Each structure stands twice: as structure tokens, then as C-alpha cells.
Structure 1
Amino acid sequence: MPVLTRLVSAPLTVDIRPGALEDLGAILSDRRVSTSGRLALVVSDGSGARLRDRLAASMPAADWFPIRGGTLDSAVDLAARLTKGNYDAVVGVGGGRVLDATKYAASRVGLPMVAVATNLAHDGIASPVSILDNESGRGSYGVPMPIALVVDLDVIRTSPIRFVRSGIGEALSNLSALADWELSAEHTGEDLDGLAAAFARTAAEALLNRPQDADDEAFLATLAEGLVMSGLAMSVAGTTRPCSGACHEISHAVDLLHPGLDGLHGEQVGLGAVFASHLRGDTDLATRLATCLDRHNLPIVPAQLGLTEAQFVDVLHHAPNTRPGRYTILEHLDLPPTTLHEAVRTYIDTYGS
């Protein structure tokens, strides 16, 4: 009898530890990503630029490509610049916006991409998706996963603690996204991939009851591993579905309606996950999520994001428009603004104390 199986796309190398950055050149050579050292290193004007001197000594043959922002235009421009050289791979060094632009540019020119994450703000460090600002707002673009991922925990510790907390919110929101996926499978017949769900659930559950503070080395390693597993979940599913439900629709709506707010993506989806769980009537999950978010000083109620109740109701009303065709608790209930306002009021009374 033949054995049936499937291949799962995954990075060739995942190196998460203190001091990993010092070994980047050797890692890429040993894994045959680049034996010649001909690399294109893409850096931001922030954390990536500050690491340039450390990296230059171990990779003298590399060319440097500064990039500003995570826009579609900047990614297309980067791709055009990359075609002028002969490189083994493209290495993105920085936060999520730089990595997303680098992933997109590398895919356009057919080069493998290496992600060197300088913060853990969201699961884009290993996902097969690039989120880029465009003329219409913000778009999601399918790209190959990074061929290698390096996370130096010493570097992560120097990033603002708020970025780490944002990553916590991102990973925890998987549990709400999965509940929405299960809801859609029940009511619309949408296929639910059990392996993708297992990756996404494990990433969140590993953090949910972990007692350490966000600056603890073991906690940071678990968070980084969880964000990698979220990326694998999306790769397995061929969609962001395992990690994106009503929680992400809410975040996208906040970005569109209130671009002046300084809320981070993980902060917004964390709050969105608690609210969506509340709407589903899953008091146990909503309480567990809220308890963990509160422990790490993440927002739980709209006011902590800088939103009034009325503004949050508008966000919820607009949220389904951000992902047409996606079925979550928001689409399932399809509540009018008056009922949404009552739900928000009850939510704040329950979790705002």
C-alpha cells in the first residue's frame, strides 16, 4: 500500500539564540545558502543600520541596500536595484516592514530571502506573506517563505519592550482566528486544515500560561518560535486563515479609519481577539486571553488604544469590508450598529475594570 504524504514548505535554517548574529555568514555558508559571500543586505534606517558595522566585518563581499518604510513602491524599487548585481541571496535585516519589503523584492527577482529579525512585533518574520502599504491603503501579497531565519536574542533585548508585547498579542490572537475558522467550516463548509491549525494553536498556547516576563530569555525564545510556527501554519494552509480572523479584520479597520493612532498591529489584534471571543460567547477563552494580555501590559479595551466606544463601534461595523469573502463571528452575527454598541458596552463593563 502506498504511503500518502505532503511536503511542507519551511525555512532551511532557523537559528534563535543569543549571539546568533555573529555567526550569520557562517550559517549561510554552511547551509549552502551563500558559499561565495555575494549577498544583498537590505537594512532599515533604524535597527538594521545600527547593526551594519557588526555584519560588515564577517561579510565583506556583501552589498548594502538601505530601504525606508514598508511600501509597495519601495519594495518594487528594491527589486529593480537588486537586478543590477549577481547575488546568491537577499538578506533583510530589521523589523517587520523591512522584512516584508525584502521578501516581496526577493520574490520578484527570483532570489532566496534570509530574514534577520531585530524585533518580534508580529509573525511576518517567517510568514509567506508581505504586508505593504499601497495607493489603496494596505495589501497582502503572497511570497515564498524565508529560506533562513536568524533571531539574535541579544538584539531582541535591545528593541523596545513594546515590540515584544506586540508579538505576544499577535501570537495569542491565533486562538481567536482558529475559532473563526472553525465557525466558517461549520456554517459555510470552508475547508479547515488540521495541521495548519495545530501549528497556530501550539504557537499561542505556548505563551498563554507562561509565567515569565517579556524580557526573560526563555520567554523570548518561546515567542520567536511561536511566531515561526504561525508562519508555518500559514504556509501549510496556503492562506493567512490560521492566524487571521475577526481579530485582524478589526485591526485593519482601525488602521484605515484611524491612521493617526500609534497602536501596533499586535496590540490591536490582541484586543480584537478578546472582543471576538466575547462575541462568540466563549467566556473562558476571552478571560484567558485578557488575563495574559493584561499581565504583559497590552490593551484590552478600546480606550487603551485611544478609541472611544463610538469609534470602536464604527471600526467593528467596517471591519468585515477589510477582508471580503472571509467568514468570522462578525459576518456570522452581522450585527447592526445599535446592537454592536450594546455589545461593546457589555464588553467594556466586563473587561475594563
Structure 2
Amino acid sequence: MSKIICSPGSYIQGNGEMRQLAKYYQSIGSKGAYIIVDRFIYDTYQVEIESSFREADTPFILKIFNGECCMKEIHMHEEQLGQCDVVIGIGGGKTLDTSKAVSFYAGIPVIIVPTTAASDAPCSRLAVIYTESGEFENYLPLPSNPDMVIMDTEVIAKAPVRFLMAGIGDALATYYEATACDKADAITMAGGHITRAAITLAKLCRDVLLEDGLKAKAAVEKGVSTQAVENIVEANTYLSGVGFESSGLAAAHAIHNGLTVLEETHRFLHGEKVAFGVICQLVLENRPMEEIERIIRFCRKCGLPTTFKELGLEEISNEKLLEAATASCADNDTMKNMPFEVWPEDILAAMQAANQISCSIE
């Protein structure tokens, strides 16, 4: 089996990039842009988005995302494309995954414009599909990464700090899942074995998070972009995006997916649940207590959930937790990439132990 590393065609990051969308579109399209945008983002940045195209006399169709990356939403947009030859997704992770899926089914390029750095999804050749009610359904592998990923750090710095911290929670899994996949010699999301370059990016991602995460949090709490914010945006998006896809996912994301069957967790962001999944994976691997406690303390300072109580699961029964643990071990999920066999009972025990350790740390 070949070793494979993949990444987006272009990754562009800087202040004010939202106002350059028409220029970037014109480098790959000419008939019209089909823009899928979050409602809040449209209400906030309508002028920046639309004026870019109007000033360049470039045709576009703009549609508001309805909130769930499900097949119904994807096919609805596919049917409304008309003559548009590029999809542009602007907003959060589910908007971006919907845009990638629409471009895949339509066979046209896609430009991804995250308005937060809340997950590592933007750079990947993958879309996560949910049911209409918000439960994880399956991963949709795509033949290529996005043609462009455009990160406007001016916009990202003004988003609620919770989103940037959720991105840290998601990115924190990159290195730990990569090492598990490396030990298991797993097949990655890119369809091959792990390269040393991918592992190096995954490690750099973790190191940047631990070095600059709290400094970036302080800046975004004031709505400003500093070098630490720039570094965390890159780590959350590019380093984690290329790192996870070319190294692989394992227990942390599988546990996240299992938690989605519990309605109590639906109000939490993807990266918030992944952060708890990271702690569970460290317990599952029997990592040194010093390492587990370091990650718990870091997550806590970032405002990420580390206990059942913080995930809204304080009163949850063991039977319900076992349902989540069983879902995390589904055949179509990534628990199989762990370097040892894992059963639902193992996940239940890891979740309970992770909660207990977190609760014991002052």
C-alpha cells in the first residue's frame, strides 16, 4: 500500500480575505459562484460577501444554509446550482461539509471560507454526514481536497472565543490519533499509509496548541488578532486538517461520534466533544498520569469539557453511556484504527475513568 499525504490546492490566511472572494473565484470559475452561507454570517457580512462579486461584475447565487449537513440539504442545493461552476461555502463546519458534498455530486470545484477556526474540517477531502435530526450517519470520502481554503483572521478573531477553543479541542486529537494509527499501521482517510511528513505536522499541531492556545484565547476574548491567533488558526485548520487526514482518526473521534447518540450532547460543539474523547483515548491507552493530567488542565483552561457534568451527562445512566460506547465501536467508524482491539465495555470504562480523573483535579 502506498504512503499518501494530501492537502488543499491553496491555503490562504490573513486579515480581510473575505473581501477578495470574487478575485479568488475568478481564478477557477467564470459562469457564476454558488454561495452557501450561514444565516448569522450572511446577516453580519452580507456587504463584504456580495460587494466583492458585484464590484467585479461576477454572477453569483447566494443561498442560506439550513443548519444540518444531511443528504436532504445536499441534494436541495445540488438541484439549484443552475449554470454555476464553483461552490463557495462560507460559515461553520456543517456548512463547509455541505458545500464540499454539493461540489462532489455536481463535479465542480469548491472554495471553503471558514468564519471560525472551530474544527479541522475545512482542508479535508471528507464530509461528515448527519441525519436530519443531528446524529452522526457516515463519513463521505471525496476524491480531492478543496480547491481553495480561505481564512479571514479578522473575521475569525471576532467570532465567539468558544469556537476557537472548540477548534483547539478538535486539533488536540490530531497527534494522539496519528500516533495510534501509526502504531496500528492503519489506512488513513487519504487511502494510504502514514508519511513522516504527516506525523511531523500532527506533532507540530499539538506543540503550537499547547504553546499559543491560551494566548490566542486572551486575544480573541478582546476581538483582536495577534500572532498567537494566527498560529492557532493555522494549527486548528491546516496543521490539524492535513495532519488528521494523512495520519488517520482513532478513538477520540469515534467517541465523539458515539456521544452524538445522546441528545444531551447535541448543544455542544464538535471539538468540545472531541476534547473529552482525547482524554478518554489517553486513558484507554494507559498513558502516564502526568500526561493525562496535563491535557485535562489545558482543556479546562481553554473552557473545554473534561467531565460528564460539563457535557450535560451528570445524571446519565450507565446503560445510556454504553449505548454511546457501542456506537463509537461501529464497523464504519475509526475505533478500528487503534493498535489493539477495543470493545464497548472498554470505552465505557475509559469514559468513566476519564470523568473520575478530571473530577479529582483541582
Q: How would you bin the TM-score normalised by the shorter chain?
A: 0.7 to 0.9
Q: Deviations over 1:177-202 (max 9, x none)?
A: 1232134239xxx9444333222232
The alpha-carbon distance between structure 1 residues 41 and 128, as it changes in their structure 2 partners (threshold 3 A), is same
Q: 1:95: which partner in 2? A: 92
Q: 1:169: which partner in 2? A: 169
The alpha-carbon distance between structure 1 residues 113 and 286, as it changes in their structure 2 partners (threshold 3 A), is same
CA distance in 2, matches of 1:315, 1:134: 16
Equivalent position amino acid for 1:94 in 2: G
Q: 2:263: which partner in 1? A: 258
Q: How many angstroms does 1:71 deviate by?
A: 1.5
Alpha carbons 2:254, 2:334 under 8 Å: kept: no
Equivalent position amino acid for 2:227 in 1: A
Alpha carbons 1:320, 1:330 under 8 Å: kept: no
The alpha-carbon distance between structure 1 residues 72 and 101, as it changes in their structure 2 partners (threshold 3 A), is same
The 5 A counterparts of 1:20-59 are: 20-29=17-26, 32-34=27-29, 36=30, 38-59=32-53
**Which of 63, 67, 80 matches 1:65?**
63
Comparing 172-181 with 96-105, greater Cα deviation is found at 172-181
Q: 1:141: which partner in 2? A: 140
**Which of 204, 207, 230 matches 1:205?**
207
CA distance in 2, matches of 1:318, 1:11: 31
CA distance in 1, matches of 2:91, 2:321: 32
Number of residue pairs the alignment of both structures matches: 334
| Structure 1 gap segments, 5+ residues each | none
Q: How many angstroms does 1:333 deviate by?
A: 4.8
**3-state SS of paired residue (1:76):** helix
The alpha-carbon distance between structure 1 residues 114 and 62, as it changes in their structure 2 partners (threshold 3 A), is same
| Structure 2 gap segments, 5+ residues each | 187-191
Comparing 270-279 with 10-19, greater Cα deviation is found at 10-19
Q: Deviations over 1:293-313 (max 9, x none)?
A: 122111112221111373545
**3-state SS of paired residue (1:138):** strand
Q: 1:351: which partner in 2? A: 358
The structure, 1 or 2, with the larger RCO (C-alpha pairs under 8 Å, 6+ apart) is 2
Q: How many angstroms does 1:174 deviate by?
A: 1.2
Q: How many angstroms does 1:247 deviate by?
A: 0.7
**3-state SS of paired residue (2:77):** helix
The alpha-carbon distance between structure 1 residues 243 and 51, as it changes in their structure 2 partners (threshold 3 A), is farther
CA distance in 2, matches of 1:330, 1:6: 18
Quote the sequence identity (%).
19
**3-state SS of paired residue (1:140):** strand
Q: How many angstroms does 1:148 deviate by?
A: 0.9
Equivalent position amino acid for 1:149 in 2: V
The 5 A counterparts of 1:1-353 are: 9-29=6-26, 32-34=27-29, 36=30, 38-60=32-54, 61-69=59-67, 70-82=69-81, 84-87=82-85, 89-134=86-131, 137-143=136-142, 144-185=144-185, 191-210=193-212, 211-214=214-217, 215=220, 217-226=226-235, 227-235=237-245, 237=246, 242-258=247-263, 261-283=266-288, 284-308=290-314, 310=318, 311-312=320-321, 314-321=323-330, 323-324=332-333, 326-328=335-337, 332-334=341-343, 336=345, 340-341=348-349, 344-352=351-359, 353=361
The alpha-carbon distance between structure 1 residues 318 and 90, as it changes in their structure 2 partners (threshold 3 A), is closer
Comparing 121-130 with 12-21, greater Cα deviation is found at 12-21
The alpha-carbon distance between structure 1 residues 250 and 345, as it changes in their structure 2 partners (threshold 3 A), is closer
CA distance in 1, matches of 2:313, 2:92: 26
The alpha-carbon distance between structure 1 residues 244 and 67, as it changes in their structure 2 partners (threshold 3 A), is same
CA distance in 1, matches of 2:3, 2:342: 36
Q: Deviations over 1:264-302 (max 9, x none)?
A: 110111111112112212124323322221221111122
Alpha carbons 1:253, 1:318 under 8 Å: kept: yes
CA distance in 2, matches of 1:330, 1:47: 42
The alpha-carbon distance between structure 1 residues 168 and 260, as it changes in their structure 2 partners (threshold 3 A), is closer
Alpha carbons 2:175, 2:205 under 8 Å: kept: no
CA distance in 2, matches of 1:348, 1:40: 45
Q: Deviations over 1:211-242 (max 9, x none)?
A: 5142253233222212212322355x3xxxx3
The alpha-carbon distance between structure 1 residues 276 and 58, as it changes in their structure 2 partners (threshold 3 A), is same
The alpha-carbon distance between structure 1 residues 289 and 148, as it changes in their structure 2 partners (threshold 3 A), is same
CA distance in 1, matches of 2:105, 2:75: 8
Q: How many angstroms does 1:331 deviate by?
A: 5.9
**3-state SS of paired residue (1:298):** coil
Alpha carbons 1:166, 1:265 under 8 Å: kept: yes
